[in-house]
Structure 1
Amino acid sequence: MMKDISPAGSQVGYVESFHDLIATPYSGQVNALCWKRELAGDFSEIVHKIALDGNITVVEEEELRALQLSEQGNLAREILLNDMLLLEEQGASPLLNVISYYERDVAYPFFPTDVYSWHVDRAPIPTSTFLCTYYGESSDILPNAQGIQKILIPEIRAGLEKLYNGPAEGFEAFLTDNFFDLHYQAVPDAQPINCGIGNLWRLAVDAPGSKVPPCLHRAPREKPGESRLLLIC
């Protein structure tokens, strides 16, 4: 059951359980569903006890189970394991990551295509993106009406045409092959929606048969010295 709709462009629907998060269809302008939660436990303890491996560390279930944790840390671990199990039972492959930072895209300085840019996800089959931030800075969503596809902005498109420098009939394929068409620019005075801590989100993607436009979102800029704990699939 959908509980209510966010006033921010009627883009976000809030649900009361994992079952509702899975079962509620996107409809109208709603292309993001949120199971809003207040979670118990100390997730920071898990972040600080994971052995980091580069800027993004994938936390395997065996490693998570092997951690020696306090009572509050153990509560957090049980929530993580349960969330992963719920998603796996739906056929998803959740990844639990400790993120210090994402690599920045420097290949095209005037048009970065990294996850700090407003973007949509694409899939060849109908699916959704699930994500939950348990610790650290959380992701943002941008109402579709407040975003402009960057390849439609004249000065950016002109720069891409110079970068391409090929036959006109291949330009659109060039944009798709390099993921330029997935990125957006926020309009002035845009009002992003912060995903918050502990909330499990389901976001519409660009996929065949989708009845709603894909959800615009981005990764946050991490605070210096503070990693994020993120579940995504």
Structure 2
Amino acid sequence: MIDLSHAEKHIHCVTNFQDLVSTPFVGEMNAICWTRTLAGDFSEIVKKVALSGNITVIEQEELCELQLSEQGQLAREILLNDLEILKAYGASPVLNVIKHYDRDDTYPFFPTDVYSFHVDRSPIPTDTFLCTYYGEASEILPNAQGTKKVLIPEIREKLKKLYDGPDEGFESFLSEHFFDLHYQAAPDARPVSLGLGNLWRLAVDHPGSQVPPCLHRAPDEKPGENRLLMIC
């Protein structure tokens, strides 16, 4: 179950895909969850996929060719159905087995990898969809519990020294290097785990958006346990 006791205004739950995609974001609500308890053995799929690095994309053809037990077949049918309904909606879902993402240590005081709370940005209206089927689940954070890092004085000063250019170009520098997409959680912040099997729709920073973009991050993986994630 998802603990929403501290995030009611932030998250809205639905019981089917149509409501997931048709419910508008309003006010503080910028995350919608289709709550699901899924049958099947998704770990079997993770174990049988031929890995090709830290992140392996599972193509639909490969997924269909896997030799699976009855429980594995149930899991596969759910994955194929999720791919189908998202594609029919117009999204471009990708199914990944993730050992881990690359860490960004370019600027030790300001990592810009997906383990940092961040928002997604798009030049056109869109949303982010994601579902964790196996492994550690992603997390989101109510916007009131995060501060844009580029607005924190000590961090901003370090970024200005890093930039070392004319004042009028500083904001563009922050955007070009994605610094302005990242947030620092408050000391008393309470991130919400997205849980296993739930299909989420998160608000994105795009022109015309009526709500703040959703703050989210990838979890720290458990050693030896790969994640199975669909995202688009």
TM-score range for the pair, normalised by the shorter chain length: over 0.9
> What does 1:109-188 align with in structure 2 at a 5 Å threshold?
109-188=108-187
Q: What one-letter code is carried by the residue in structure 2 that aligns with 1:208?
A: P
Aligned residue in 2 for 1:41? 40
Q: CA RMSD in A?
A: 0.9
Residue by residue over 1:100-154, the C-alpha shift from the partner in whole angstroms, topping out at 9 and shown as x without a partner, is 0000001111100000000000001111000000000000000000000000000
Structure 2: distance between partners of 1:212 and 1:141:
15
Residue by residue over 1:168-211, the C-alpha shift from the partner in whole angstroms, topping out at 9 and shown as x without a partner, is 11100000000000000001110111100000000000001111
Alignment size in residue pairs:
229
CA drift of 1:15 comes to 0.4
Residue by residue over 1:31-86, the C-alpha shift from the partner in whole angstroms, topping out at 9 and shown as x without a partner, is 00000000000000000000000000000000000000000000000000000000
Q: What one-letter code is carried by the residue in structure 2 that aligns with 1:98?
A: V
Q: Is the 8 A contact 1:141 1:217 kept in 2?
A: yes
- Structure 2: stretches of 5+ with no match in the other structure: none
Aligned residue in 2 for 1:21? 20
Structure 1: distance between partners of 2:122 and 2:190:
27
State the identity as a percent: 70
> What does 1:14-93 align with in structure 2 at a 5 Å threshold?
14-93=13-92
Aligned residue in 1 for 2:107? 108
Q: What one-letter code is carried by the residue in structure 2 that aligns with 1:16?
A: T
SS in 2 for 1:118: coil
Structure 1: distance between partners of 2:9 and 2:187:
19
Query: Which structure 1 residue ranges, 4+ long, deviate > 3 Å from structure 2?
Result: none
Structure 2: distance between partners of 1:194 and 1:223:
15
Q: Is the 8 A contact 1:6 1:12 kept in 2?
A: no
Structure 2: distance between partners of 1:9 and 1:16:
16
SS in 2 for 1:119: coil
- Structure 1: stretches of 5+ with no match in the other structure: none
CA distance 1:94–1:126, change in 2 (3 Å): same
Normalised by the length of structure 2, the TM-score is 0.97
Structure 1: distance between partners of 2:140 and 2:109:
22
Q: What one-letter code is carried by the residue in structure 1 that aligns with 2:10?
A: Q
